[in-house]
Structure 1
Amino acid sequence: MPTITAIEPSRRREGRFELLVDGKAHSTVSIDIIERLGLRVGAELHGGTEALERETTLLATYDRAMRMLAFRARAATELRRALIRKGEVPEFVDAAIDRLTRAGFLDDGAFARQFASARAAGGRASRRRIQQELSRRGVARDTADDAIAEVYAEDAVDEAMVAVEAARRKSRSMQALDPAVRTRRLYAFLARRGYGADEIRQAMAAVAGDAAKLDAAD
Structure 2
Amino acid sequence: MPLITAIVPSPRHPGRFTILVDGKSHATLSLDAIERLGLAVGGDVTGLEERIEAEAARLKVYDRALNMLAFRARSSAELARSLVRKGEPRELVDHAVARLQEQGLLDDAAYAQSFTRMKVLGAQQSRRRVQQELARKGVARTVTDAAISTVFEEEGVDQRAIVEQAARKKLRSLTKLDPVVQRRRLYAFLARRGYDSEDIRHAMDAVQREP
Q: Distance in 2 between matches of 1:149 and 1:41?
A: 56
User: CA-atom RMSD, angstroms?
Assistant: 1.9
Shift of 1:11: 1.9
Residue type at the aligned position of 1:73: A
> Higher mean Cα deviation, 179-188 or 108-117?
179-188
Distance 2:52 2:173 in 1: 60
Residue 35, structure 1, aligned to residue 31, structure 2: no
Partner of 1:103: 103
Residue 169 of structure 1 aligns with which residue?
169
Q: Secondary structure at the match of 2:5?
A: strand
Residue of structure 2 equivalent to 1:185 = 185
SS in 1 for 2:132: helix
Deviation digits for residues 75-94 of structure 1 (CA, Å, limit 9, x no counterpart): 11111111111111111111
Q: Which amino acid aligns with 1:47?
A: G
CA offset at residue 104 of structure 1? 0.9
1:179 deviation in Å? Answer: 4.8
What is the CA–CA distance in structure 2 between the aligned matches of 1:41 and 1:121, rounded to whole Å?
56
Residues 179 and 18 (structure 1 numbering): CA distance in 2 closer, same or farther, change over 3 Å?
Answer: farther
Is 2:197 the partner of 1:197? yes
What 5-or-longer segments of structure 2 have no aligned partner? none
Once the two structures are superposed, the pairs formed by residues 61-140 of structure 1 within 5 Å of their partners are 61-122=61-122, 124-140=124-140
Partner of 2:206: 206
Identity of aligned residues (%): 55
Contact 1:123 1:165 in 2 (8 A): no
Moved more, 91-100 or 116-125: 116-125
Aligned counterparts of 2:166 and 2:96: Cα–Cα separation in 1? 41
- Whichever residue aligns with residue 146 of structure 1, its letter is A
- Counterpart-to-counterpart distance in 2, 1:147 and 1:175: 37
Question: How far apart, in 2, do the equivalents of 1:156 and 1:139 lie?
Answer: 24
The answer as to whether partners of 1:126 and 1:195 remain within 8 angstroms in 2 is yes
SS of 1:84's equivalent in the other structure is helix
SS, match of residue 88 in structure 2: coil
Ranges in structure 1 where 5+ consecutive residues have no aligned partner = 214-218
Equivalenced residue count is 211
Match of 1:216 in 2: none
> What CA distance in whole angstroms lies between the structure 1 residues aligned with 2:179 and 2:71?
43
1:122 and 1:188 mapped to 2: Cα distance?
20
1:20 maps onto 2:20 in alignment: yes
Give TM-score scaled by structure 2 length. 0.91
Deviations 1:80-127 (A, max 9, x none): 111111111111111111111111111111111111111110452101
* Cα deviation, residue 71, structure 1: 1.3
